[in-house]
Each structure stands twice: as C-alpha cells, then as structure tokens.
Structure 1
Amino acid sequence: MSTTSSSSTSTTSVYLYRITIFAMTLALGYVAKAFRRSKNATRKSQEDLLVLRKAIEGKDSEMASLHRSVEAAKEDAREQVEALAGELAEVQEQLRNAERDLAEAGEKKRALEAELEQRAGEARHLMAEQARIEIEHTEALDLLATRTAALAEAQAQLPPADRLTDQAVLALVRALNTEIKDTAALLADSFEFEEKKEGTTGTAEELEADEAELAEAYERATEIIGPTLVDILRISDHHADPIRVRLAFQGGIVEYARWMSAAWFFEDPEDEQLLVDIYQRVRTAQPQPVAGRWRALTHAHVQELIEGAPDLADYFVDAVVNVLLAAGFRSSSAALHELVGSRFAERIGALVRLALGLNKAIGTEVTLCELKALSAAPGVIFDDVTMLDLVDGAPRPGEPVLCTCELGLSRADKIDGAWRKTILLKPKVLLESGLEELLEQGESTPTKTNTKP
C-alpha cells in the first residue's frame, strides 16, 4: 500500500511533470508564436512610428508656421487695437467737444428764444406804432400835396441854379486869352514891314489923303490901345522884329473882346447904356438871385431883338488894321480891311465865338453872383493887387499901363446888402519897362514866315 501509494504518487508526479512539460512546451510554443507575432508587430509599429514621426514633423512645421501666423496676427491685432484705441480716444474727444457744443447751442437756443420773445413783443409794439405812423403819413401826404403846390408856385418866382461855376467861366477866359495871343502872333508874323526912312514921296494930293487916313487910324487906335503905345508904334522900326506890333494886336483884340463879353446890345450905344443903368437900379434894390435872374432873362431876350447876327468880326479886323497903319504898314485902310477879313476869317471867327460864349456865360448862365472880364485901361497906374506884369519884371513906381494883353476875371457877391469883390484872375498888362525888357531879351514872334500881303 505504501508502495502503491508511492508508485501512484510517482506516477502522478511524472504525469504532472509531463503535463507541466507539455504545458510549458505549449506555453513556449505560444510564447514563441507570440514573440514572432510581436516581432512582426514591432517592425510594423516601427514603420508606423516612422510614418507617424514624419507626420508629426510635418505637423510641427505646420504648427510652427501657424505659430508664426498667429504671432503676426497677434502683432497686427495689437497694432489695430492700438490704432482703434487712438481713434476711440479721438472719437471720445470729439464726442466731448460735441457735447460741449451741444451744451453751448442749448444756451444759445435759450438765449435766442428769449430774444425772439423780446422781438415778438417789440414787433407787436412796432405794429401798433406802424398803424399810428400810417395815419400820420396819410395826413403828411395831404399836407405835402398842399405844400408842394405852394412850393411850385414859389419856385416859379425864384431864379434857377447856376449852370456854370466860376472855374468853368475861368476856363472860357483862359481859352479866349490863348486864342488872342496865338492870333496876334500869327498876324504879326504875316505882315512884313518896310524899313522906315526919312522923307516922303508922292504928290501933294496923295500925301494929304494919306495923312487924313493915318490921322483917322491914329485916332481909332488911340481909343483902343492908348496914345503912348500908338506913339511907340509910329516912331519905332518894325522891319527887324514886329514884337511891338504883336503886343499892340493883343491889346486891341483884348479890349474889343472885353467889351463883347459884357455887352447887352451890340448895336446902339444909347440902348446899351440904358440897360446898364436899369440893371444897376435892379441890383441895388433886389437880392442878387432876383437881380441875376432879371439880368439873365433880359440878356437872352434883348439879344433876340437884334436883326440878324451882329458882324462882330469887323471890330477885330478894325483893331488889326488901325495897328498896322499906326505902325507904318504901307497900304490903304480899305485894302487892309479886305485882306485881313478874308485871309484871317477863320481865326477872327474863333475869337468872336469865344467872346460871345463868354458873354453868354457871364450874362445868362451865372445868376447868384456877378462875374466880369477885367482889363486895365491904357494910362492907369500899375497896381500889383489887381494886375500882373506881362513879363513879371520890376515895374517902376507909378508906371502907367500901355495896354492889357490878357483878360482877367472878377466875382462880386452881395452879402448883407454890401458888395464883396474877389479877383479870380488878374489881367496881364504891358508896361513900358516890360516892353524894354522884352526888346533887350530879343523876344520875337513864335514863327517867322515872311509872308508879305
């Protein structure tokens, strides 16, 4: 039993051993198989791992690129945020300014509403005032119509305003003086005088006729330019330089021009004096505007009574002829009248037009004062207050005037019943000392054509 038990036990142990070996063999086979499968799996895993590593490296590159993009985006975002922050600050400042402006506008609105309310009150007051004024205006219009009718009636009795000023009349005087000077120079240049010699030729009858004609010429020349200048013309030789003749022409034409500028009636001296006397009475009795109006109307109507246009050119021709004869120009009075009147008709006509223009200006265009063309009569003592020396020299004390070479102009105003005279332009006069100075200087006419008629 013990042996059997030992044998059984041994058998069982062998059996167990064999089972164990078998099991270990199986296990080793399984392990080997598993090892082979594991080795294959490891190789495949390594390959997969390599692929995975490559994928991971690719992803790392992508991640690095994405990281850089993210960083750049963050930088851009940071810059944009900063810009937006600046814009936001500016907008906030603008908003604060707008709020401040809005507050100020609100204040202004309230002020304007208050002012509007005040203006509305004023407007209501003005409307009431306008209604009152319209009533007064209607009443004033009625009164104005009444007063206008009365004023129109009164204005019909008043003189019109002057159409010319002092300066306009002064311009006329200066234009006339210039034309006289130029015409005198042209006339003196157009006649050539023979040299004066002692002794006479011709029959007794011719000499007697010449003396009679010369006596008349001397008398007429003396009336206009005075005896002293006539004597100077008679005794002087004008062959070399006719300066004395030119100045005598000027003096004679000036005197006739002055007479024409002041004349009322160019035909009858008695009628002329009658009108002068009447006007003196009117000036004394009436205010100047009324007297001036009377003068203007009388001048216009009286000169309309003259039959035809007065032949005033003959006066200038007569002055020229008498000066020529007094200076010794050898010709008859009739021939010289015909010659001067035809050859110099245009220049003499211009003198007449200017003289008549001055007559109209002084007589009819100015009524609120008295204007008068001025000249100094031959023989009066030189007065530097009212005259100008033609050559602007040094007159001798008490020296008389030979003639007037340029007209002057004076104005008289009636103030509180008294007349106040103002000289607007002094007349230029020729003195003997001035004539001597001109001769010493060799003064001559502007041109020398040597035209012998």
Structure 2
Amino acid sequence: MSTAATTSAPNTSSIFVYRISILAMTVALGYLAKAFKRSKGASKKSTGGSSPVKEDARDRVEGLAQEIEGLQQRLRAMEGELAEARETKRVLEEAVTQREGQARELIAEKTRVETEHRDTLDLLATKTADLADAHARLRAEDRLTDQAVLVLVQALNTEIKETAAFLADSFEFEEKKDGGGVVVAADSEEMVEVYERATEILGHQLVDILRVSDHHHDPAVVRLAFQSGMIEYARWMSASWFFEDPEDEQLLADIYQRVRSAQDQVAAGRWRALTHAHVQELINGEPELGDYFVDAFVNVLLTAGFKSSSAALHALVSQRFADRISALVRLALGLNKAVGSEVTACELKTLSAAPGVTFDAETMIDIVDGVAQPGEAVLCTCELGLSRSDKVDGAWTRTILLKPKVVLPSGLEELLAQGESTPTKTKA
C-alpha cells in the first residue's frame, strides 16, 4: 500500500501542474491570436496587404497551436494513466486492508497456537515425568524376568551337584559287612535321632538304602543323599518369608493366599514384594542358614556309617566346607529375593517332588529317562524345577518352566551304575 501511494502521488501532482501550464499557455495563445487578428484586420484596412513580418507571426501562431494540440493529447493520455493509477491504488489499498486483517487474524491464531503449544509441552512434561515414575516403579517391582529366575535355579542346581560330589569324595567309609556278611547296626540313642532327622528330609526309603549300602568303594548313594538333602533345604529357603518362626511363616503364607484370591495379579504381586522385603528386614542379624546344610551333611554321613560323633562331625564340616556352604546360601537367598520381591507380574515357585509322592510325568522328569512303573513313588529329587502362575480373568493358571528331576526306585541301580547323579569327582 505504501509503495503504490508513494508512486501515484508524484504522478498526480505532475499532471496537475502540467495541466495548469497547458491551460495558461492556451489562454495566452488565445489572447495573442485575438490580438493578432485585430492587428491583422487593422493592418488590412490601412495597407490592404500582408508583409513578411506578418507571415512569420502567423506561422509562429500556427506552430504554437499545433504544439498546444499535442500537449492536450498528452494531457488526455496522462489523465487516462492517472485514472488507471487511481484504480490500481484503490485495488492495492483494498488488498492491503484485507492483508492487514488477515495478518491480525494470523497473529491472533499464532498467539493461540503458541499458548496451546506451551500448555501441551507442560502437559507432556508432566506426563513424561509420570511415565518415568511408573517405569521406575515397574523396574523396582519387576527387575527380573522368569527366564532370569530360571537361570538362577539352574545355577543353584549346578552348585548343589558339584557340592554333593565334592563332599562325598572327601570322606572315606569303612566296610559295613563283617566276614559273615552281617550288616553292622548302630542302635545308640544318638543314631536313632540321626535317622529320624535324616528321614524328615530324605524319606524312609532313601534312608534305608543309605544305611544298608556299602559306601567304602563307591559313595554314589551318599552323593545322591547329599544332593537330595540340599535340594529340599534350598527349595525351602527360596520360598521362605521369614526363615525363623514356623508360625509366623504360616501366618504370612495364609494371608498371602487370601490376598491372591481377592486381588488381581498386580495388587497381589506388589503386596508380596513389599511384605517380603519389609518382613526380612525384621530378622535379627544374618540368618544362620548354613547350619541347615551342615545338619543335612552330618546326618547323611552318620546315617551312611561314617564313624564320628555328631558334634565333632558338625565342627569339621562347618570349617572344612565353609566356602561351599556360603555359596549355597548365597544362591538360595538370591533365588528367594528374586521370586519373593523382584517379580510381581507373575508368581514364580521352585519345585521339588517330596519323597514318596506318586511320579507324575506332567510335572517332573525321571533322571534315568526310563519307564516308570504304574503308581511308582518318587525316591528323591536331585534337581529343582520352576513354575509360573498367572491370574487371568480371576482364575490362576500354572505353567511348568522347568520340571524337577527325580529318581525312581526302579531306575536307582541304573543311575548309580551310570554315575549320572553327580558330576565328575573332585578331590579335596
């Protein structure tokens, strides 16, 4: 708008001045022409003819008349251009006015969009912070996957097998049969208690085999008994809430079952994780979990016929195999923390088959991979398994991620002959 106005203003002024000049010249020439005519008439009357001077004046007047005509034509052309310039100016002014209105609308729209953008950024920042907090809580609650826990179970199984072999190869046993082939029986009160404690963890059948077998040349049954005893204690440690009072343990387990039944998986898992973590903080000092493994080793050795007192053997095993026992406890506690407080999206549980239960191919594996007899009972478990439970639409479903490996009476002889119950012997 400003450029068009600036351009048209000088043109209008110039044309106005030019028109005034032409008008003045026209008036002057008209006046001269009239004067010339009067003088010409008077001259004719006086002389009756024309002179060269008069002819020259007449030519000059005619030339000026033609020049005036040309100027008038230019004036008309410039007036047309002026009209076009005025129309162009009007159109441009309307366009500028329209553009200014559009510019004001755009500025208002820009202001509105910028305000919405700032509000969106603020909301995005808030939601991002909330999402980060949610992810942090999820990572804090579910730091492990079921596959990571499965690796922990397999590592514990490996440590148990190696420890069983190491311990069995570290003790020498006397022959149990005398020259007449009679088994030497130990009927002292201390040994009766030993047999009872061994039976609680190993079962009657394995204890009987351990008592009557001769381990002087091959401690394979001792290795199997060590392995079975460690499996049971490790399974208990991995699932325990408190490690101390059995009544408190049962109370927490009962409460959790009610929570699992009433709540969804997320709520139940968070309750378990928080309760598990806080309850274990109430334990006074470090739990002496290694003593459980020591007791199992001592009871197996004495039941197998190793000649020593319970107290002396307890001190010997505690001192000599402290590193092995610490490794077992560390792995068992790591597994306890994993399934107790580090996984909430599902329910993970270590599995073993109690001595005497009926073999079930759907939930366990015969380590010999033989054909189980109908209704055959499990002799012992030699490797832990792992299950996963999920609550879907109010109902719990269970998946076996790793079946526990068990020994059946029908496959014991073959197992011992193959030497597959434990890894290669390790000398102390």
Could you state the TM-score of these two structures normalised by the residue count of structure 2? 0.69
Match of 1:268 in 2: 245
Q: Which has the larger radius of gyration?
A: 1
Is 1:405–1:429's contact at 8 Å kept on the other side of the alignment?
A: yes
Instruction: State how far apart, in whole Å, the 2-side matches of 1:346 and 1:136 are.
Output: 65
TM-superposed CA distance for 1:158, in Å, is 8.2
Quick check: 1:405 aligned with 2:370?
A: no
Quick check: 1:307 aligned with 2:287?
A: no
Is 2:357–2:377's contact at 8 Å kept on the other side of the alignment?
A: yes
TM-superposed CA distance for 1:391, in Å, is 2.0
Question: For residues 104-119 of structure 1, what are the structure 2 equivalents within 5 Å?
Answer: none
Match of 2:166 in 1: 186
Quick check: 1:175 aligned with 2:152?
A: no
Match of 2:54 in 1: none
Match of 2:114 in 1: 134
Match of 1:46 in 2: none
Change (3 A) 1:417 1:257: same
TM-superposed CA distance for 1:128, in Å, is 9.2
Instruction: State how far apart, in whole Å, the 2-side matches of 1:444 and 1:161 are.
Output: 37
Match of 1:216 in 2: 193
Is 2:141–2:270's contact at 8 Å kept on the other side of the alignment?
A: no
Is 1:159–1:289's contact at 8 Å kept on the other side of the alignment?
A: no
Change (3 A) 1:253 1:383: same
Change (3 A) 1:409 1:442: closer
Per mean C-alpha deviation after superposition, the further-off stretch among 160-169 and 130-139 is 130-139
- After superposition, the C-alpha distances for 1:349-368 in whole angstroms (9 at most, x for unaligned) are 10000000000111111011
Match of 1:72 in 2: none
Match of 1:254 in 2: 231
Quick check: 1:349 aligned with 2:330?
A: no
Gaps of at least 5 residues in structure 1 are: 1-123
Instruction: State how far apart, in whole Å, the 2-side matches of 1:444 and 1:295 are.
Output: 36
Is 2:144–2:342's contact at 8 Å kept on the other side of the alignment?
A: yes
SS in 2 for 1:420: strand
Quick check: 1:320 aligned with 2:329?
A: no
Question: For residues 41-440 of structure 1, what are the structure 2 equivalents within 5 Å?
Answer: 133-141=113-121, 160-198=140-178, 211-440=188-417
Instruction: State how far apart, in whole Å, the 2-side matches of 1:142 and 1:254 are.
Output: 56
Could you state the TM-score of these two structures normalised by the residue count of structure 1? 0.65
The code of the aligned residue for 2:235 comes to: R
Match of 2:425 in 1: 447
Number of residue pairs aligned between Structure 1 and Structure 2: 321
Is 1:163–1:366's contact at 8 Å kept on the other side of the alignment?
A: yes
CA RMSD of aligned residues (A): 3.0
TM-superposed CA distance for 1:376, in Å, is 0.5
TM-superposed CA distance for 1:282, in Å, is 1.2
SS in 2 for 1:240: coil
TM-superposed CA distance for 1:430, in Å, is 1.0
Identity %: 73
The code of the aligned residue for 1:447 comes to: K
Instruction: State how far apart, in whole Å, the 2-side matches of 1:146 and 1:175 are.
Output: 43
Is 2:176–2:183's contact at 8 Å kept on the other side of the alignment?
A: no
Is 1:159–1:290's contact at 8 Å kept on the other side of the alignment?
A: no
